Structure formats: C-alpha cells, structure tokens
Chains A and B, each alone.
Chain A
Amino acid sequence: TAGITQAPTSQILAAGRSMTLRCTQDMRHNAMYWYRQDLGLGLRLIHYSNTAGTTGKGEVPDGYSVSRANTDDFPLTLASAVPSQTSVYFCASSDRFGGYTFGSGTRLTVV
C-alpha cells in the first residue's frame, strides 16, 4: 500500500541521548513535513522540505534537525533529548497545495 512509513512505532529515550526518527514515502511527493502532536495543542510543524536537498524551519524547530538527501527519505534527529520533547511525531508528505498524507506516527517518551 502506497504511503508513508515511520519507524520506530514507539521509543523510550533517556534525557541527553540522541535519536533519529525515520520517515520514508513511496508516492514521489516533493514536499515532506515533520509535526509533533500534543494534547490540547494540536499538530505543530517542526521542519519541512520542499524538495530533495532543501529544508526549512517550522513553528517549533528548536532541538530538532532534518536532512533530505533524496525524495523518499526525511529523517528527524533529536541531538540531545529533553523531557519536553515527549510527544507523538508525525511525518507527512504532499503534492504542492493538496491535502497531506500522514504516517502512523512515532510515540516518543523522554525520561
């Protein structure tokens, strides 16, 4: 089934450790996004990429980095995790101004 694959599904991470959340799409969409979802706050954009080789900052980028080496992959890295980064992380992709296709999410707990 075409779509977005995220890994891992869930993770418990010690504060101060680094981690990379993986995201792969097979729809050949140019644009990809990382959101975090927190209760009562909705989805907030962390970083985005319009096309391979380019990235940009969203609403809440601090503490996160991304790369876009090719069209299909868009990993999100936490260099030194803190408890406030406990959240559910969603990767998404889109074709210009269309609706987004989301992955199933990664539930991250930083302790």
Chain B
Amino acid sequence: EDQVTQSPEALRLQEGESSSLNCSYTVSGLRGLFWYRQDPGKGPEFLFTLYSAGEEKEKERLKATLTKKESFLHITAPKPEDSATYLCAVQARMNDMRFGAGTRLTVKP
C-alpha cells in the first residue's frame, strides 16, 4: 500500500534560520511527488511536482529535491510569511494522490 510519512510534525524556526522538511514515501511506480502549502482555514496550494530521482525545483526561498525513497523541502532564510503547513503527496495512478499528514512550520520574527 502507498504510504507517505512527513517529519517533523511541527517545526519552529527563527527568521533567517534555514532548515529542511522530510517526506518519506513507499509507492509502486511513482508518477509524481507533489508539495503543497496550506494556510489555516484554506485549501492546499500547489507548489512543486517532482518526477524522478535527482530532480530539483525552486521557488523563492523553497527548494524541493527527490530521491528514490524521500523528498526534502529546503527552506532558506525563512520569513514569518513562510509559516504554514506543508503537505507532501505521491501519485502512482490517476485519481490516487496520497497525502502525508503535513509539517506545521512556524517562523518567528
């Protein structure tokens, strides 16, 4: 069965303190690994798709990387507005995107 595990559950950083979020996955035939950002009271917002091991994607202070077993979301010099829950999801088949429980990130000024 496809599984997605995110760690840590929660992360508190000082503004400017870089760190990484982890997404470990078990899936038969990965078609894509997705990262989303979710703000309180809102729906998830799509950030990145990674398709194969070694691939990297960047957007502002965020960089996502992918290996055969896990993905990392690196946050460089975070700002308070980066505070949110970050969700990882894997897709092996159409109509079957499996989500992790998320990492709740808080960035203090």
Contact = CB atoms under 8 A, between A and B. Distances in A.
Interface of A: 4, 31, 33, 35, 40-45, 48, 50, 56, 58, 90, 92, 96-105
A17 to B, nearest CB: 25
Given A42-B87, A98-B49, A99-B34, A50 B94 contact: yes
B32 A42 contact: no
Interface string B9-31: 00000000000000000000001
Given A33-B95, A102-B44, A105-B42, A42 B31 contact: no
Interface of B: 4, 31-32, 34, 36, 41-49, 87, 89, 91, 94-97, 99-102
B42 A43 contact: no
A68 to B, nearest CB: 13
A31 B43 contact: no
Given A92-B43, A105-B42, 16 more contacts: A33-B97, A40-B101, A42-B87, A42-B100, A43-B99, A50-B95, A56-B95, A96-B94, A97-B31, A99-B34, A99-B46, A100-B44, A100-B46, A102-B43, A103-B43, A104-B42
